[in-house]
Amino acid sequence: MKAHQVALVGAGRMGGLHARNVVASSRFRLAAVADHNEGLAKQLGNELGASVRSYEQLLADPDIEAVLVASSTSSHLENVLLAVRAGKAVFCEKPLSLNADTLADALPDIEASVRPVFVAFNRRFDPHLGELKRQLDAGVIGRLETLHIVNHDPAMPHADFIPKSGGLFKDFTIHDFDTAGWLVGEEFTELYAAGACLIDPEIGSLGDIDTAKLVLKSAGGKICLISNSRRTGYGYDQRVELFGSAGALRVDNVHQTSVSRVGEAGTTGAPFPYSFAERYAEAYRNELDHFADVLDGRASPSSGPRDSLRVLRLADAAERSLNSGGPVTLIPGEY
């Protein structure tokens, strides 16, 4: 099978991660790299043997089949729209936008695309969560009743990231909204968010929070707890637990190695992966593989612009709940 020629826009951290996976896959060829920051583009292009061009040039190249959008979050939507208009297939790093109304306005244009538009949520491609979903769907725990998600980051982001992050809910909880919806398989009808600035007062002075606990209710009455923290101090804490009518299922943290040490203080297992890039390395490879399947016509995107809008509306609802202090009612189909 011929490799798909793709180009990358956005040569930062996420762009580099995806581009390296592209290069390591026999199903793709990385044709070109674009970035407003030309130095960044050149460095990555040189490393990976890809040409450096402007985004306009890329889009005009008929040999390029698809575009990977990994530019700054604020430019995701514009870059996706440009790619769609140029007739390219799109792989877009989440989130598609930080503004739900803007995204809603753009949705018809994106959905009119003749080529697939894939918005990648890495959790769905994690082999551990994938196995959890398979067992849930196979009825291993009967009827799902409630679920708990722990999503705690190892360390605070740089303070200058906060203002452009969209806030904790849009930057971080958005993953959990997607995971929860994917597992529950129902729309959510109510959301309550408790949040606080417990780790670093600077976060608070920037109008954001660093800690949150959320309760969501689904149309079918299932209840979901989400726990978020910006800093564990001990690595990336990533757990999901499902409680059903016939038992429980969980994805526990993975460990860097299977080495443990026994000493006077007890038995110490290896630390968790420290970064998302390490914890979800396989998920990033898998989502790219899924995109190859999509381009090959063997699959449709597991999540697209509408899913992006859905989680964005949930993040907005979480903000409203936080501000009002009470739960927010969600109208299925309208978020």
Binding site for its own copies (CB under 8 A): 23-24, 26, 127-128, 131-132, 135, 140-141, 145-146, 148, 152, 192, 194, 196, 198-199, 211, 213, 215, 217, 221-223, 225, 227, 229, 232-235, 237, 243, 245-271, 325-327
Question: Considering beta carbons, is residue 205 or 268 the nearer one to its own copies?
Answer: 268
Helix (H, G, I), strand (E, B) or coil at 123: helix
Give me the least distance between CB of 314 and its own copies, in Å please: 16
Provide the angle, in degrees to the nearest 10, between the axes of the packed helices 127-137 and 174-184.
30
Helix (H) or strand (E) holding 137: helix 127-137
Give me the least distance between CB of 72 and its own copies, in Å please: 28
Question: Considering beta carbons, is residue 199 or 206 the nearer one to its own copies?
Answer: 199
* Rounded Cα–Cα distance for residues 141 and 7 (Å): 43
Question: Considering beta carbons, is residue 157 or 271 the nearer one to its own copies?
Answer: 271
- The token pair at 297 is 């016509």
Q: Under 8 Å CB-to-CB from 317, ≥6 apart: which residues?
A: 191, 328, 330, 335
* Rounded Cα–Cα distance for residues 200 and 289 (Å): 39
Question: Considering beta carbons, is residue 51 or 75 the nearer one to its own copies?
Answer: 51
Give me the least distance between CB of 264 and its own copies, in Å please: 6
Question: Considering beta carbons, is residue 107 or 198 the nearer one to its own copies?
Answer: 198
Question: Considering beta carbons, is residue 114 or 259 the nearer one to its own copies?
Answer: 259
Give me the least distance between CB of 227 and its own copies, in Å please: 7
The answer to whether 173 and 302 are in contact (CB under 8 A) is no
Give me the least distance between CB of 201 and its own copies, in Å please: 11
Of the candidates 181, 174, 172, which has an alpha carbon nearest to the alpha carbon of residue 217? 181
The answer to whether 197 and 229 are in contact (CB under 8 A) is no
Provide the angle, in degrees to the nearest 10, between the axes of the packed helices 305-324 and 174-184.
110
Give me the least distance between CB of 93 and its own copies, in Å please: 23
